[in-house]
Amino acid sequence: MDVKPWQQRVRDEERLLEQLRLLASEAATRRAEALRDGVKELGSVAEVARDLGRSWNAVDKALKKQDRKSASTTDAPTTE
């Protein structure tokens, strides 16, 4: 049986972790967009939370986290 060296296994797992981080980040962005659509439809974060059976704080925190992430990518200095 051919076993990969541990260094290669570590590199493979690091690549997989990076892919998962990217997928999770993209999912969080899409989720925040859906939550914002819910706020537009229902009128408030509290109503969205109630409809989803979640706390107001959890929905608000998800939206704010995404807002901070978006702001940090748009406010980043350019290398020009």
Name the residue ranges covered by the structural domains of the chain: 28-71
- DSSP assignment of 28-63 equals HHHHHHHHHHHHHHHSSHHHHHHHHT--HHHHHHHH
Query: 9-55, pLDDT tens digit by residue?
Result: 999 999 999 999 999 999 999 999 999 999 999 999 999 999 999 99
Q: Decide: 6 and 15 in contact? Cβ < 8 Å.
A: no
pLDDT value of position 2: 79
Q: Please give the average per-residue pLDDT across 71-77, as a whole number.
A: 70
Confidence grade of residue 60 (pLDDT, cut at 50, 70, 90): very high
pTM of the entire predicted model: 0.77
pLDDT band at residue 69 using 50, 70 and 90 as cut-offs: confident
